[in-house]
Chain A
Amino acid sequence: MSRFEPATVNLEFDKRVGDALQDQELRANFRGAMDFLMGKRAAMFPDKEGLEALRTQGEAIRNRCLSQLPELLEQFEQRCTENGIQVHWAETAQEANAIILEIMHKHDATRMVKGKSMASEEIGLNHFLADHGVECLETDMGEYIVQLADETPSHIIMPAIHKNKQQIARLFNQKIDGVEYSENVDRLIGIGRDVLRQKFFEADVGLSGVNFAVAETGTLCLVENEGNGRMTTTVPPVHIALCGIEKVVESLRDIPPLLKLLTRSATGQAITTYFNMISSPRKPDEKDGPKEVHVVLLDNGRSRMYADKQLQQTLRCIRCGACMNHCPVYTRIGGHAYGTTYPGPIGQVVSPQIWGLHTAGSITKACSLNGACGEACPVKIPLADLIRRLRYESNNSEPTSVPAPRGQGALRKRSEAVTWKLWALLLHKPGLYALALFIATRLRALAPRRIGPWTRYRSAPKPAARSLHELAAQRSQSNASSQEHGRHE
């Protein structure tokens, strides 16, 4: 998976899932990692009521900010501009890429270092820049590993979580000149550091994501552990921040509760090693920092999500990844199987809305609606409900919201639609249902031993000799007659 190709998501989804399930090493890596992360999160929230109160607060903050999103974005732009940060608006991925390339061109820049940014994965920035002669180096250790392997991230917080240390040792040994095979984790990190250190100083531009964009002050907040985010945003002469439009919060006061939820839910940390706040380019009396700071505000389908009251909840997401960590499906197939930038439960909700149901709607079927994701989500996004809603939109073509989700109705299958029509006919007419029950119970000996995919892995259930309908009717009759009896005696 060297490149995210939206066109292949629906088409190759089943194959990807099949391959992932076959890969025992991958499955062991994910199971171990997810168990570990679930344990870490649980340890961070020993007090159930406290967690609930914090989640309620987080949800309320995100809802309040979203309810004023247009105004907050304007305020954010204004404050940034006053602070000397240049603000750009990108409606699509193409626009965002073009804006970034133009900034690079303006500075004759050919080398970029990147901090972690899922939004940049979303718009396919690395490949776009590579096609235009710009070298783009990932500096987050996980992202760096994934880039070396010519893969995409398999998790939004831990991009290389699908690899174990042996695999990383092999990769470093093969891809980095003069590096010997070593499974020592500290040694491996040291190797990565040595490579990256030099690159920070050579880069013309540093690009980062944004965790929170504060409207009141025009501040970009960046949460990270490795210090590479700080290097990326301060060492090169130009810093570009790529920010989804939903990331804006009203004031600095909104951040502490969200940050608490973010770090604890994501990696089980009370706080991260670095919390960067960027409010302006380097000032005349300052010794370091970039001379220029740009923010690219990315829409790419977000205002469409915003238009629908239920789907708008998608935008509350603070990208902690907890829903993935707690998802029994993600745990088994890993992030690459989804074939989209955003995997797991939030990916099943976000991806089809960004790329359209006709492109990425199929991934919504990889969900048993068990609800573990929504239970873990720090801002209480009802992920299962949204996944179900998108399934509905996939095969429904009546307009629901304006504008409707892209690709609405594109996955409708005639045979399936007919099956459900018959099902409804049978079950809403009591006479028909009773007849069907009667036939099924009387002909139980003829019950099929194979029922499609069900019996590939399980034996077929056998109809009972008498349905509950019959047994209950008999019982109430005999009750009634014994009461009759009782009265006469």
Chain B
Amino acid sequence: MQRAYPEKPAQVYFFGTCLIDLFYPEAGMAGIQLLEREGVKVIYPQQQSCCGQPAYNSGYDNEARKVAAAQIACLQGGLPVVVPSASCADMFRHHYPDLFADTPLRKQALDLAARTYELTEFLAHVCKVRLVDHGPAATVAIHNSCSAQRGMKTAQDAISLLRQMRNVAIVQQERASECCGFGGTFAVKAPDISNAMVQDKCDNLLATGASDLVSGDCGCLMNISGALEKRKETLPAQHIASFIWERTQ
């Protein structure tokens, strides 16, 4: 069932995610600029930090709850929350309600869940963007995170945005839907398995001959481009927001 989308709001909150904050701030800025270009005022609450997923996935619920509660606190007030990561959006949308199920914050968690959108989802369905591509010809491989495919089911939105771009050709990789092996702490707790997965992902991506790699999740990007770099192979990788913003100005 498709989600019912609201009219384009005047204002939104932007939740940057901790990875973007520290390692890929340009992706966050691109997301903010894309939204503002659509006439949506973006508020970036300075109190935000991390959705709490790393601890949650490792089975440290109390710690995750502590950090999650701080996000709930700074994202109050009914505005839609736009997140440039399906994985963190999934945490808000689907895991906060579980995490706070038997606590006083339950209602607020449900409220936040209902207001949360992944960036490409918001651009495609709420802003209904029309993108005008000014970039050079590119052949792009998309890596959709597992959360985009399964949790948030927004994988199609990234594709539909890229399809609007005149000079962009999307190339298909083998086993496109397979996990890249990041999985947050999985990459550290089961490093050898994770490595086997990311090496295959790199092979499949390189085999496409793509000029660029684009993803809606910086966790996957960090994993894949980190592995490519170690292998001394080049496939420029960007968050989809950066990629779109750079080509459409």
Contacts and interface: CB of A to CB of B under 8 A. Distances in A.
A455 B198 CA distance: 13
Contacts of A390: 59
B168 interface: no
Most buried by B among A369, A370, A390, A396: A370
Nearest to A457: B195
Given A17-B192, A456-B191, A468 B28 contact: yes
A428 B150 CA distance: 28
B46 A430 contact: yes
A453 B188 contact: yes
Nearest to B59: A391
Contact of A464 (B22, B150, B181): B22
Most buried by A among B16, B146, B223, B227: B146
A388 B191 contact: no
A461 interface: yes
Contact of B66 (A18, A428, A440): A428
Interface string A415-438: 011001101100111100110010
A372 B198 contact: no
Interface in B27-55: 28-29, 32, 43-44, 46-50, 52, 54-55
Contact of B182 (A368, A416, A455, A470): A368
Given A430-B47, A468-B25, A332 B197 contact: yes
B49 A430 contact: yes
B14 interface: yes
Which 4 A-B residue pairs are closest in the complex by CB-CB distance? A368-B183, A458-B226, A391-B59, A453-B191
B133 interface: no
Nearest to B64: A424
- Classify chain B: how many residues form its interface, as a range: 35 or more
Contact of A437 (B21, B26, B61, B74): B21
B67 A328 contact: no
Interface of A: 17-18, 21, 27, 328-329, 332-333, 365-372, 374-375, 385, 388-396, 416-417, 420-421, 423-424, 427-430, 433-434, 437, 440-441, 452-464, 466-473, 475-476
Contact of B150 (A371, A468, A469): A371
B61 A366 contact: no
Contacts of A368: 146, 179, 181-183, 186, 190, 194, 197
B110 interface: no
A475 B33 CA distance: 10
A454 B187 contact: yes
B23 A464 contact: yes
B22 A370 contact: no
Contacts, number: 187
Nearest to B174: A35
A416 B74 CA distance: 28
A423 B55 contact: yes
Nearest to B181: A368
A416 B59 CA distance: 11
B178 interface: yes
B63 A476 contact: no
Contacts of B50: 427
A218 to B, nearest CB: 40
Chain A interface secondary structure, helix, strand, loop or mixed?
Answer: helix
A466 B226 CA distance: 21
Interface of B: 14, 16, 18, 20-26, 28-29, 32, 43-44, 46-50, 52, 54-64, 66-67, 69-70, 74, 98, 146, 149-151, 177-179, 181-184, 186-199, 222-223, 226-227, 229-230
B44 to A, nearest CB: 4
A17 B22 CA distance: 33
Contacts of A433: 49
Contact of A473 (B20, B46, B59, B187): B46
Contacts of B149: 371
A420 B182 contact: no
Contacts of B194: 368, 457
Given A427-B50, A427-B70, A366 B190 contact: yes
B191 A468 contact: no
Contact of B191 (A424, A429, A454, A459): A454
25 contacts: A17-B190, A18-B192, A332-B197, A365-B189, A365-B190, A366-B190, A368-B197, A369-B57, A369-B146, A369-B183, A390-B59, A391-B58, A393-B59, A396-B59, A420-B60, A421-B63, A428-B66, A430-B47, A457-B191, A460-B226, A464-B24, A468-B29, A469-B21, A472-B29, A473-B44
A424 B98 CA distance: 19
A484 B43 CA distance: 18
A433 to B, nearest CB: 4
B188 A21 contact: no
Contacts of A475: 29, 32
Nearest to B196: A332
Contacts of A333: 193
A31 B28 CA distance: 37
Contacts of B69: 428
A417 B60 CA distance: 8
A249 to B, nearest CB: 29
A430 B71 CA distance: 10
Given A427-B67, A467-B22, A370 B183 contact: yes
A372 B229 CA distance: 27
A427 B189 CA distance: 21
Contacts of A391: 57-59
B22 A441 contact: yes
Contacts of A420: 55, 58, 60, 63
Contact of B22 (A27, A393, A463): A463
Contact of B25 (A389, A460, A471): A471
A17 B98 CA distance: 32
A366 B61 CA distance: 19
B84 to A, nearest CB: 10
Given A420-B55, A441-B22, A371 B151 contact: yes
